[in-house]
Amino acid sequence: GAVVSQHPSWVICKSGTSVKIECRSLDFQATTMFWYRQFPKQSLMLMATSNEGSKATYEQGVEKDKFLINHASLTLSTLTVTSAHPEDSSFYICSATHRDRYQPQHFGDGTRLSIL
């Protein structure tokens, strides 16, 4: 089945650091990737939609300059949390869809980000 790899699985870093999270579709071409954020004991909230070769579309309330998304190829999207602060600590999870957009989204295993 379709596999999405997300790296790193967890990261701890100091406040002010920028952190990059990668999301790769391993065995299919992902024209669209989604980035979600999940706080402890809460649901997943969509942050942005990333389409290959174009700018990401951000959901209302998500800071574009804070969360930089790049979808440079059909198999890779990256989320960079710039100048991270403790309030950015969260679980970030990506998903990807096939060219056939009516296939279920396939999720990565998520990244636990802790900012000290």
Give, as one character, the DSSP assignment of residue 14.
-
Does position 71 interact with another protein (CB under 8 A)? The reply is no
Q: Is the four-CA dihedral 69, 23, 8, 106 of positive or negative sign?
A: positive
Does position 91 interact with another protein (CB under 8 A)? The reply is yes
User: What SS3 class is residue 88?
Assistant: helix
Nearer to another protein, 65 or 102 (CB): 102
Nearer to another protein, 50 or 78 (CB): 50
Does position 104 interact with another protein (CB under 8 A)? The reply is yes
Task: Give 83's contacts (C-beta < 8 A, 6+ positions apart).
Answer: 16, 17, 18, 66
Interface with another protein by CB under 8 A: which residues?
Answer: 32, 34, 41-46, 49, 91, 93, 95, 97, 101-102, 104-110, 112
